[in-house]
């Protein structure tokens, strides 16, 4: 969680320095992403993420350098060789499929991948996610209906931070929970406090076990925080109350989990500070290496746009 947070903060700095064109943050979403990442089998299970899933990709095995290569559009970027927008994840090694910009399309891809896994006789689980705004897209309903009808091993995780850019959740839906929709498809609908890492871990463990055992899809809604503006091109202070923003900072899962671990005697303040310093050193080294990495050759700009001999 801390590695993701520090990397996320560094991406914002790079953007504000004019070195990165764009960034869209996952701050406040880390707990549920880490929980599911710890319960998936990297390279066997499939992941169709959305743009805030930085922490998830790190748990699955991607590195800070991988992501810095991407945001700086370098040739060795594992997401796309420097062609994709930042935060559009994809990595063959870990079965992370390439993210598209249209909201919600990854949900349909996940349903199709899960069907393919079944046809191959595999017990692989397919994880996919979006924000609550993404559930207003028809793709969400089509994917959930298809997965439910065919009892596919798909875990749909809705990271509900309360805002679809500037639109609050109560102006997006007439119900208090996205998970309430699950009953219409005959699948379990679960709600979890996305700022409680232990609760997230338990629900992730159970959801993965349910899907892998052949019981069909699960819809999980994590109530998370959006601790930054929608993206580097947005300023949420224009439409959110300053007192609300300050109160949310106090509910941050990283702060609460650190305090919890200290209280339990699992962690002390000195070790926590040392961990942060070690991660900062890792991040500084990764940034330097990514900054010095080569840019893509212009001749590769059209590679992988269409199927070719290189795949």
Catalytic positions, please?
226, 230, 239
Are 5 and 225 contacting, i.e. CB atoms less than 8 angstroms apart?
A: no
- Taking the C-alpha atoms of residue 307 and residue 90, their distance in angstroms, rounded to an integer, is 17
- Taking the C-alpha atoms of residue 227 and residue 248, their distance in angstroms, rounded to an integer, is 7
106-138 in b/e burial notation, b at 16+ Cβ within 10 A?
bbbbbbbbbbebbeeeeebbbbbbbbbbbbbbe
CB count, 10 Å around CB of 239?
A: 14
- Taking the C-alpha atoms of residue 230 and residue 212, their distance in angstroms, rounded to an integer, is 34
Residues in the chain, how many? 311
Kindly state the DSSP code that residue 58 receives in the 8-state scheme.
H
- Taking the C-alpha atoms of residue 208 and residue 220, their distance in angstroms, rounded to an integer, is 11
- Taking the C-alpha atoms of residue 96 and residue 41, their distance in angstroms, rounded to an integer, is 12
- Please give the C-alpha separations between residue 52 and each of 77, 225, 228, 304, in angstroms, as whole numbers: 18, 12, 11, 24
Are 96 and 59 contacting, i.e. CB atoms less than 8 angstroms apart?
A: no
């Amino acid at each position: 969680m801390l590695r993701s947070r520090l990397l996320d903060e560094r991406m914002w700095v790079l953007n504000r320095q004019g070195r990165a064109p764009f960034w869209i943050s996952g701050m406040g979403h880390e707990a549920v992403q880490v929980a599911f990442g710890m319960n998936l089998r990297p390279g066997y299970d499939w992941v169709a993420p959305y743009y805030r899933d930085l922490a998830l990709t790190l748990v699955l095995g991607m590195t800070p350098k991988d992501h810095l290569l991407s945001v700086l559009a370098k040739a060795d970027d594992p997401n796309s060789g420097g062609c994709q927008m930042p935060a559009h994840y994809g990595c063959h090694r870990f079965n992370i499929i390439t993210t598209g910009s249209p909201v919600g399309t990854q949900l349909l891809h996940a349903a199709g991948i899960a069907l393919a896994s079944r046809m191959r006789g595999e017990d692989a689980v397919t994880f996919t996610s979006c924000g609550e705004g993404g559930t207003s897209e028809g793709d969400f309903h089509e994917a959930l209906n298809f997965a439910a009808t065919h009892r596919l091993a798909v875990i749909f995780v809705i990271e509900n931070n309360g805002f679809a850019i500037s639109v609050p959740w109560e102006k997006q839906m007439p119900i208090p929970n996205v998970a309430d929709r699950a009953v219409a498809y005959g699948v379990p609908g679960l709600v979890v406090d996305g700022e409680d890492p232990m609760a997230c871990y338990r629900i992730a463990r159970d959801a993965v076990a349910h899907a892998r055992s052949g019981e069909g899809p699960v819809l999980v809604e994590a109530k998370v925080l959006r601790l930054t503006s929608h993206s580097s091109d947005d300023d949420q202070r224009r439409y959110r109350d300053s007192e609300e923003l300050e109160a949310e900072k106090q509910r941050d899962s990283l702060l609460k989990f650190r305090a919890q671990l200290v209280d339990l005697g699992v962690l002390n303040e000195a070790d926590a500070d040392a961990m942060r310093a070690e991660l900062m050193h890792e991040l500084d080294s990764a940034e330097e290496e990514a900054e010095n990495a080569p840019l893509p050759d212009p001749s590769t700009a059209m590679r992988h746009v269409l199927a070719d001999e290189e795949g």
